A = this chain, B = another copy of it.
Amino acid sequence: MRDYQLRCISCGKSYLEKSDLYWCHDCGPLKGTLEIIYDFNQINISKNFSKKGDITQFEDLLPVKFQTNLDQQVGGTPFIKFNHQFGVRELMIKFDGVSLSGSYKDRASIIAINKALQYGKEAIFCASTGNAASSLAILSAHTALKTYIFVPSSIPSAKLAQLHAAGAEVIAIQGSYDEAFDLSMEIGLKKGWYCRNSAINPYLLEGKKTGAYEIIIQNDYVAPDFCFVGVGDGTIISSICKGFMEFKQLGLIDKIPKVIGVQAEGAATLKKVYDSGKPYEPIFETVSTVADSISVGNPRDVIKACTYMEKINGEFLTVSDDEIIHSIQSLTSETGVFSEPAGAVGYAALQKMKNDGRISHEDTVCLFVTGNGLKDIKSAESMIKRQNFSKEEARKYLEGV
């Protein structure tokens, strides 16, 4: 664990760590999300991280001391490389769908859980219908923490199943996801439970930045030219930017990749804010896309995401639902990586930039695939053409192949 301060992304005010400090008191929870700031001047980090190492190898660059049974099961996810294929010099895939709960969110949940234990909390909570919830439930299962997950009661049974199996207390309420979120904040904070709501908790981003660290390490400390990341709330993209910036500051890479934040056309709120320029202001929209995990109309890390992306000259792109669904199939059939819709958006955006001539055979490209296709089988199902051969028909059909 490294010493750190917390700093408001909007007004720059600094705070010292406190167990119930989540946002800047002057700027409020949406504009006043906090950054974790370290003094990296005093430290010397050399290039000898392990390519298959888990998240605990980064403890010296994180605001937490690891102490659970599952710490060593987070991070160290596959990094798969294809050379001179797909119209680029190198295509790299960072696949976090193969993690304990099946998504990138494990990197954040493990930090929140360790913080809750450090603060002596008895319980931890979040509002989520998806990956954040299942990740928190799975990783906290073995700890002494009681886990509360607030969801709208319309949540599909398949998503509930993993939460229930993990022994989380699921509070299903009549109302929307936003109402579940607000109720979780009202009750959770009053009860003194630890909050693992995305963007509200400033430590989550610190766990997520380790994905950026890992691709640099797994690529022998060479930064790819381009990185593609799906964007909903804005926390993962912020974390990827921060990870690269920190490794640059530490002298571990020479350049920062061109980061492309990819949103669904029907849920492009963050892109809209970024493209209209400073000052970045949170907005709320009604959105719709098949890519469940990035279907966000009120992105809660909007200011951080825009600020970081501006710093590193990043860019946002959109892709259509059709392109997303098609990409699940192309990505899986060409690389063996089976992704949930939100994880396949990067592949769709890569095709777009190749077609536009903005990415060439000379470029190296990394896709962050953040969730497992088994988590959301609906979109993949929509592509199935069912057959029902008799044996004779099958014989005949296969004669011709």
User: Is A332 in contact with B384, judged by CB distance below 8 angstroms?
Assistant: no
A158 at the interface (CB under 8 A from B): yes
User: Is A70 in contact with B381, judged by CB distance below 8 angstroms?
Assistant: no
A142 at the interface (CB under 8 A from B): yes
A328 at the interface (CB under 8 A from B): yes
A80 to B68, CA, bound (A): 11
Chain B proximity mask over A89-130: 1 for CB below 8 Å, otherwise 0: 000000000111110000000000000000000000000000
Question: How far, in Å, is A107 (CB) from chain B's closest CB?
Answer: 15
Question: How far, in Å, is A161 (CB) from chain B's closest CB?
Answer: 4
With a cutoff of 8 Å between Cβ atoms, the chain B residues found around residue A391 in the complex are: 173-175, 179, 183
A388 to B161, CA, bound (A): 16
A171 at the interface (CB under 8 A from B): yes
A82 to B395, CA, bound (A): 53
Query: Of A221-229, A314-322, A334-342, which stretch is located at the interface?
Result: A334-342
A122 to B105, CA, bound (A): 40
User: Is A381 in contact with B160, judged by CB distance below 8 angstroms?
Assistant: yes
Task: Please judge, given known A-B contacts A141-B332, A332-B138, A389-B171, whether A384 and B98 are in contact too, CB under 8 Å.
Answer: no
User: Is A384 in contact with B100, judged by CB distance below 8 angstroms?
Assistant: no
With a cutoff of 8 Å between Cβ atoms, the chain B residues found around residue A80 in the complex are: 69-70, 73
Contact residues, A186-221 vs B (CB, 8 A): 186-187, 191
Of chain B, the residue at the smallest CB distance from A169 is: B401
A153 at the interface (CB under 8 A from B): yes
Interface residues of A (CB under 8 A from B): 50, 52-53, 69-70, 73, 76, 78, 80-82, 98-102, 138-142, 146, 148, 150, 153, 157-158, 160-162, 164-167, 169-175, 179, 183, 186-187, 191, 328-329, 332-338, 372-375, 377, 380-381, 383-384, 386-391, 394-395, 397-398, 401
Task: Please judge, given known A-B contacts A78-B73, A394-B183, whether A101 and B165 are in contact too, CB under 8 Å.
Answer: no
Q: 9 nearest interchain CB pairs?
A: A167-B333, A161-B380, A165-B332, A374-B374, A52-B52, A141-B336, A153-B388, A161-B381, A172-B387
Of chain B, the residue at the smallest CB distance from A385 is: B164
User: Is A172 in contact with B338, judged by CB distance below 8 angstroms?
Assistant: no
With a cutoff of 8 Å between Cβ atoms, the chain B residues found around residue A102 in the complex are: 372, 374
**Which of B139, B329, B337 makes the CB contact (< 8 A) with A167?**
B329
A332 to B134, CA, bound (A): 11
Given A167-B333, A171-B389, A172-B388, 9 extra CB contacts under 8 A: A69-B82, A78-B100, A161-B373, A162-B373, A162-B374, A165-B332, A172-B387, A173-B394, A187-B398
With a cutoff of 8 Å between Cβ atoms, the chain B residues found around residue A166 in the complex are: 332-333, 336, 338
With a cutoff of 8 Å between Cβ atoms, the chain B residues found around residue A383 in the complex are: 161, 164-165
User: Is B389 in contact with A141, judged by CB distance below 8 angstroms?
Assistant: no
Of chain B, the residue at the smallest CB distance from A99 is: B98
A381 to B50, CA, bound (A): 39
With a cutoff of 8 Å between Cβ atoms, the chain B residues found around residue A388 in the complex are: 153, 172-174
Of chain B, the residue at the smallest CB distance from A389 is: B173
Question: How far, in Å, is A1 (CB) from chain B's closest CB?
Answer: 23
Question: How far, in Å, is A269 (CB) from chain B's closest CB?
Answer: 26
A329 to B389, CA, bound (A): 39
With a cutoff of 8 Å between Cβ atoms, the chain B residues found around residue A401 in the complex are: 146, 169
Question: How far, in Å, is A108 (CB) from chain B's closest CB?
Answer: 16
Specify which of A81, A173, A191, A336 lies most central, judged by the most chain B CB atoms within 10 Å of its CB.
A336
